[in-house]
């Protein structure tokens, strides 16, 4: 490994009003490294990397890029000079083509006499997509045609070029399925071998230990320490890193520990012979006290099943039934006690320009209001309870959701349904971007919900999560069920993977 310092940060402070997001950070990033950046939700990972990549300014402190003072004004400027970042949140421009997204702000490269050749733009974009191994995405298509995962892959393509020297990946892998992750891993290793500097943010400890060459731990806006590869390979590495992250021991128990797959006899939600989009004749009975897991690659149809169960898909045939009544839209779903945690948290799960409190109480409003009156006190108490239970890092229930860190937003999107006490919960990637401590609480809560007789549909891209939590797992491939697995102590990812691919 070369020891050339590519980026150096000195005594960086970032305040957001009273919140001290960074408290005097000193850190160096070297060439030929994949540096993992870990820390609990709200510890400052996105803040520090977004300052390095020109998205926002520090309150004070200095940066040096290849020995020169570094002070980018915009992300476009930083990218032109070789530093780019894939943001944690969705960051594509709607209603434009894929190619326009890839070259946004850089059309000059294709203009002659002031005219931009769209043909050339499309060709160049398609070549980049092909080289990256995602030829199924067509450059000339509207971006609206593509789902969440494909859009993330398009963002990655936009960020990386031969001139990239520093590449920041902020909590991107949770948006990707297995295939997408492997494409990204290959890319960062290639960049490392070319002497570039990669900064990799993730809450998935296995992934960090497998992919990174070095590791830096942040806690409450401060650097707690660094680990080199040899230290990352030590048998107690995970315990040590967790301890550095949270400043206390975390128990071993993580997923459910019981193997009781029994459930109550009543059907809580029935999907009866559903046909919609590419899905044909799909049926499922979810009982009270049952956790059914859905797994597969991102495009396998499992996310769509979740949407349909909440009344969000237009059906060609079949019915969604709850208590004998047909659910045809999401308002009806909510009033029948169904909750839905969307994978796409910024677009579908949260109102970003509203407070934490308002988001949390939203699905409960009919229950909180007597005729037209909503008790502000009940509203406040409800919000406070969820903030405490999920340790949402904020100044209080009135803080706006768009100022929360990614994982803390996810907690709000989970909390609004637990606050309502929905009897049926459809969870699409519910622990996305949440740190281990809170993940543990969420799993404990899901196990508790089963005991209380609630019915849960757990859709997840993490096989370990499904194996750890579900009574049975339905695996989908190409919009059809490819396999089914019962909960048992020796069930492994290998058992599952044969149905996945």
Q: What is the contact surface with ligand ATP in residues (CB under 6 A)? A: 16, 19, 21, 39, 41-47, 88, 171, 393, 403-408, 433
Looking at beta carbons only, is 276 or 400 nearer to ligand ATP? Answer: 400
47 near Mg ion, judged by CB under 5 A? no
Closer by beta carbon to ligand ATP, 335 or else 395: 395
Q: Among Mg ion, ligand ATP, none, what binds residue 43 when CB lies within 5 to 8 Å by partner kind?
A: ligand ATP
Instruction: Verify binding: residue 72, Mg ion, rule CB under 5 A.
Output: no
Beta strands in 220-346 (DSSP E): 222-227, 267-276, 279-287, 291-296, 317-322, 325-326, 338-341
Contact 201, 171 (CB under 8 A): yes
Contact 499, 488 (CB under 8 A): no
Q: Which residues pair with 30 in a beta bridge?
A: 5
Asked if residue 170 lies in contact with residue 86, where contact means CB atoms within 8 angstroms, the answer is yes
Quick one: tokens of 145? Answer: 């045609």
Q: Which two tokens stand for residue 394?
A: 């904020």
The DSSP-derived string for 199-232 is EEE-S-HHHHHHH-SEEEEEETTEEEEEE-HHHH
Q: Which does 21 bind (CB under 5 to 8 A by kind): Mg ion, ligand ATP, none?
A: ligand ATP
Phi-psi region of 17 (alpha: psi -120 to 50; beta: other; left: phi over 0): left
Smallest distance, ligand ATP to C-beta of residue 150, A: 22
Spatial distance between the Cα atoms of 41 and 441, rounded to a whole number of angstroms? 14
Q: How far is the CB of 16 from ligand ATP (least distance, A)?
A: 3
The one of Mg ion, ligand ATP, none whose footprint includes residue 306, by CB under 5 to 8 A per kind, is none
Among 46, 342, 410, 422, binds Mg ion (CB under 5 A): 46
Residue 22: CB minimum distance to ligand ATP, A: 8
CB of 181 to ligand ATP, least distance (A): 18
Note the helical H segments in 162-204: 178-193
* Site stretch for Mg ion (CB under 5 A), options 88-96, 280-288, 473-481, 493-501: 88-96
Chain residue at closest Cβ approach to ligand ATP: 407
**Which residues ranging from 404 to 423 are in contact with Mg ion (CB under 5 A)?**
405-406
Strand partners, 295: 475
Q: Which stretch binds Mg ion (CB under 5 A): 8-16, 38-46, 318-326, 416-424?
A: 38-46
* Smallest separation, CB 438 to Mg ion (Å): 14
Nearest approach, Cβ of residue 438 and ligand ATP (Å): 9
For 247, other C-beta atoms within 10 Å of its C-beta total: 11
Binding site for Mg ion (CB under 5 A): 46, 88, 405-406
């Amino acid at each position: 490994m070369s020891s050339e310092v590519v980026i150096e940060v000195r005594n960086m402070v970032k305040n957001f009003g009273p919140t001290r997001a960074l408290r005097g950070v000193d850190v160096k990033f070297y060439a030929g490294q994949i540096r993992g950046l870990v820390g609990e939700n709200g510890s400052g990972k996105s803040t520090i990397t977004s300052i390095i990549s020109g998205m926002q300014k520090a309150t004070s402190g200095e940066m040096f890029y290849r020995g020169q003072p570094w002070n980018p004004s915009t992300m476009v400027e930083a990218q032109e000079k070789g530093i780019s970042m894939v943001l944690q949140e969705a960051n594509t421009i709607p209603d434009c083509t894929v190619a326009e997204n890839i070259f946004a702000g850089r059309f000059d490269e294709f203009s002659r006499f002031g005219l931009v050749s769209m043909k050339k733009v499309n060709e160049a974009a398609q070549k980049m997509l092909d080289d990256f191994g995602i030829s199924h995405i067509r450059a000339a298509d509207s971006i609206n045609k593509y789902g969440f995962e494909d859009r993330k892959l398009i963002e990655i393509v936009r960020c990386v070029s031969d001139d990239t020297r520093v590449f920041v990946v902020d909590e991107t892998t949770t948006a990707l399925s297995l295939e997408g992750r492997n494409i990204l891993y290959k890319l960062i290793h290639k960049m490392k071998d070319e002497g570039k500097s990669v900064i990799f943010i993730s809450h998935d400890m296995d992934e960090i230990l497998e992919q990174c060459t070095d590791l830096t731990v942040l806690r409450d806006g401060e650097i707690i320490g660094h680990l080199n590869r040899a230290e990352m390979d030590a048998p107690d590495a995970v315990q040590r890193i967790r301890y550095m992250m949270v400043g206390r021991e975390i128990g071993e128990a993580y997923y459910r520990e019981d193997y009781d797959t029994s459930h109550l006899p009543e059907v809580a939600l029935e999907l009866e012979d559903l046909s919609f989009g590419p899905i044909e004749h799909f049926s499922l009975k979810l009982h009270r006290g049952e956790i059914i897991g859905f797994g597969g690659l991102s495009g396998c149809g499992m996310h769509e099943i979740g949407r349909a169960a909440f009344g969000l898909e237009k059906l060609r045939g079949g019915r969604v039934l709850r208590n004998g009544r047909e659910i045809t839209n999401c308002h009806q779903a909510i009033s029948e006690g169904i909750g839905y945690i969307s994978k796409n948290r910024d677009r579908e799960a949260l109102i970003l320009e509203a407070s934490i409190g308002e988001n949390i109480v939203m699905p409960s409003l009919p229950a909180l209001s007597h005729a037209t009156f909503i008790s502000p006190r009940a509203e406040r108490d409800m919000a406070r309870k969820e903030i405490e239970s999920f340790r949402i890092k904020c100044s209080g229930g009135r803080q706006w959701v768009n100022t929360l860190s990614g994982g803390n937003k996810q907690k709000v999107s989970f909390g609004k349904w637990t606050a309502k006490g929905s009897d049926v919960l459809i969870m699409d990637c519910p622990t996305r971007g949440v740190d281990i401590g809170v993940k543990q609480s969420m799993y404990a809560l899901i196990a508790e919900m089963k005991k209380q007789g609630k019915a849960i549909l757990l859709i997840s891209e993490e096989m370990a999560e499904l194996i750890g939590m579900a009574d049975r797992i339905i695996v989908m491939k190409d919009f059809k069920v490819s396999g089914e697995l019962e909960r048992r102590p020796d069930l492994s990812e290998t058992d599952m993977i044969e149905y996945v691919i």
